[in-house]
Structure 1
Amino acid sequence: MTLTVQNLSITRGGIRVLEGVSFSLSPGEALVLRGPNGIGKTTLLRTIAGLQPPLEGQVDAAPDTLVYAGHADGLKSTLTVEENLEFWAQIFGQNDIASAMNAFDLNALRSRPAGLLSAGQKRRLGLARLLVTGRPIWVLDEPTVSLDVRAVEMFAEVIRTHLGKGGSALLATHIDLGLDEAKTLDVTPFRASAAQLDEFDEAFL
């Protein structure tokens, strides 16, 4: 499934931040967004994921092919690790959580309430949700936050496996995941010329 972004312009808080963004992402490809903090990478990803409307341009992807993972882990604190994954699997019409548990080394934690997990464990569980969605296009905003070195390597291997199965990944990250096949897109040239951002605005981009 191909993701195509055409002449996309986006705003945050009514201020135009990026304009004219265009690219395509084919099955088996990864694209890493680059650019300084505050330029609008999060806003761009949220727009592509359909969480907010673009100012101009369009995002083309087949229905029900995208899944977004942002800064929030999306966990229910009173449910166990296993119950959280089962919940999300059911939401997306899936029933296999074993591969997600294995991929993120969560089996020893399966009976622990999510609210009692460390920050890194919560992040691993949050990312494991990607594997129970059954969706091929992953849109990821700083997915390695709170992950230690071993968990980053674990996540990178999950991405490689996903790409190898014909999935794709669009992600913003400052971490080198060792994805030699990944393309990069610096969004700096797409900065809107009229954008006047102060520190308060940048905190939310």
Structure 2
Amino acid sequence: MTDRQAFGEITVRVAGLSTRRGDNILFRGLDFEISGGEALALRGPNGAGKTTLLLTLAGLIAPEAGQITFDGADSEGAPVLHFCGHQNAVKARLSVHENLNFWAVLNGRTGSAVAAALERVGLGDIAAIDAGHLSAGQGKRLALARLLVSHRPIWLLDEPMAALDSAGDQLIGALLDEHLEGGGLVIAATHDDLPLGDAACGRVLRLGNHS
């Protein structure tokens, strides 16, 4: 590892992957490989299977066929990935700080302190207010802060830039660059270009509908 790497070498390998929704095959025979330091943008029309692929990679949906392997993952079974869905999973009656603290307890306090993570995403000044008062963009920032309080090399992100303004796009670009520079990897379903720095390695996988 280099001085800037926070993670050991890890690679996600997908071979012959097929998934369905009801009677419809979303994709079949999907093959790709992505390693630390790389970002993969999943593109395609609505219904192409972008979110389903993320859920399958996260182990939340069983594939119809094929194999997913995480080479370099902790042999003792420590969690290696974050799944951040398009819904922010914010509890409205808890404060901003309490929301993030809940996720830190649930996922493990292996990253930044809660207060530091909230400062990083621009919510430090409103940590005490109820999360139900947040705007859509602030709710997305709170969801992104979960990536910082628990240290995991694989980020699976569903529309990570939804509801963010230009400053939010710059924030997520910085977070992605830092994660990739540390040896992490990112797979993101997005209709937008990922805001990666010039040094980051970005790729695109296009999904289409299959009958």
TM-score (norm 2): 0.85
CA deviation map 1:77-134 (0-9, x unaligned)? 1111111111111112206224421221110111111111111111110111111221
Give the one of 92, 95, 100 matched to 1:77. Answer: 92
1:38 CA displacement? 1.7
Q: How many aligned positions are there?
A: 191
Give the percent of matched residue pairs that are identical in Structure 1 and Structure 2. Answer: 45
Structure 1 portions without partners, runs of 5+: 196-205
Q: Which residue of 2 aligns with 1:41?
A: 50
C-alpha contact 1:99 1:131 (8 A) present in aligned 2: no
1:150 CA displacement? 0.9
CA distance in 2, matches of 1:118, 1:22: 38
- Secondary structure at the aligned position of 1:182 is classed as strand
1:53 CA displacement? 0.3
1:187 CA displacement? 2.1
Q: Which residue of 2 aligns with 1:56?
A: 65
Superposition misfits of 4+ residues, deviation over 4 angstroms: none
More off after superposition, 34-43 vs 161-170? 34-43
CA distance in 1, matches of 2:134, 2:145: 14
Q: Which residue of 2 aligns with 1:187?
A: 207
Q: 1:176 to 1:186 in 2, by over 3 A?
A: same
1:18-37 equivalent positions in 2, closer than 5 A: 18-37=27-46
The root-mean-square deviation of aligned C-alpha atoms, in Å, is 1.4
Give the one of 114, 126, 147 matched to 1:130. Answer: 147
C-alpha contact 1:81 1:114 (8 A) present in aligned 2: yes
1:12 CA displacement? 1.1
CA deviation map 1:29-86 (0-9, x unaligned)? 1111121222111111111111110000011123411111111111111111111111
1:184 CA displacement? 1.1
Does 2:19 align with 1:10? Answer: yes
C-alpha contact 2:172 2:195 (8 A) present in aligned 1: no
Q: Which residue of 2 aligns with 1:68?
A: 83
Structure 2 portions without partners, runs of 5+: 1-9
1:178 CA displacement? 3.1
1:136-147 equivalent positions in 2, closer than 5 A: 136-147=153-164
Give the one of 133, 147, 172 matched to 2:189. Answer: 172
CA distance in 2, matches of 1:93, 1:68: 14
